[in-house]
A and B are shown apart, each in its own frame.
Chain A
């Protein structure tokens, strides 16, 4: 399925289900997402992780709502299943989409300006360097006997200086390699947006609306 449409589908559903209270639809979505993830051969370890985490948080949330609030049984079931829907929808998306294809699709299909698409990609490719930089900032401080914590301004100060330095260099490098903001571009890899994608997205959304508003519990 087209990554942009898939993203829109997942975000729209998560948003709508945050405001509606139909647990049967939640359960149906959980089953569908789980089936799709198994079909797409998501690792069993990842599936267990995706089940264990919401199980803990949903139980804790339901427990505190019972102790500290006045929620009905129906609402507790809705909240419990809702947490699983969030995690499974997100899991289905991240486990079946890679960031590069998503960015390409956002540029080509969703018409995100190229400067954003390539700017994001350029920065995301620095991820390993950024991890190493945080470690080296901490190590450098340790050599002077300073321990930098999550709440130490110095840690952020140094990280921000590096970020400014790198973004200057990276944008200059891209411009010197011929990147022009707003200029028309051709694409080496074309991400297809088929009629089938639209029908699947639209059709499933309509079905879910029917499920949400015909009075299921």
Chain B
């Protein structure tokens, strides 16, 4: 199995910072969306709609760097960037980073770090949703929502993660493999 070298470490960090900088514009969108949904008691929905964007660094790093741990490290570093760029959630950002990163890492573990195609991305989106949702059940008290509302939150989260972590990541990696910078493994 491939080991981490200096170049890969720098690459995953620069990638995480790029994602952090690109997503920085999403912050105000999240706040506005939360404020709009809050009066109806639907604030968690803002989180679910946008979650896919925040977890994108994981599958993208996993797909490009292809070393065990890449997805987790990419997402964790993304959280570090957010923390030092002035995000307020601090320590819980780091924990969420590891949870989200491990969620998408599971997708790559399940395909043995050998297949890098649609299947991997779909599995990764599914594992990310399940792992992060389990975390939310405890951390944000999701466990005390009514079942119907919970099912709605889960579905929205999966769609978001699938669109950004799956479809968008696939489109990006298609461009990369057409440019011959990433090997296309079927």
Contact = CB atoms under 8 A, between A and B. Distances in A.
If over half of B's interface residues share one DSSP class (helix, strand or loop), that class is named, otherwise mixed; here it is helix
B89 A87 contact: yes
Nearest to A126: B14
Contact of A126 (B17, B38, B90, B144): B17
Contact of A119 (B10, B18, B172): B10
Contacts of B15: 159-160, 163
A54 B140 CA distance: 13
Contacts of A159: 15, 18, 22
A184 interface: no
A42 interface: no
Contacts of A191: none
Interface residues of B, number: 57
B90 A167 contact: no
A75 B141 contact: yes
Interface stretch (B39-47, B111-119, B121-129): B39-47
Interface stretch (A139-147, A148-156, A193-201, A205-213): A148-156
Interface in A144-189: 150-151, 153-157, 159-164, 166-168, 170-171, 174-175, 179, 181
B34 A167 contact: no
B89 A181 contact: no
Given A123-B13, A130-B18, A150-B23, A171 B88 contact: no
Given A60-B43, A68-B145, A90-B92, A131 B21 contact: yes
B43 A86 contact: no
A167 B145 contact: no
A119 B34 contact: no
Interface in B161-177: 164, 168, 171-172, 174-176
Contacts of B6: 115, 118-119, 171, 174-175, 179, 181
Given A61-B44, A69-B144, A171 B91 contact: no
B95 interface: yes
B1 interface: no
Contacts of B44: 61, 64
Nearest to A123: B13
Contacts of A10: 90-91
Contact of B144 (A70, A150, A168, A179): A70
A69 to B, nearest CB: 4
Given A64-B43, A171-B6, A181-B5, 4 more contacts: A56-B34, A64-B41, A156-B168, A168-B7
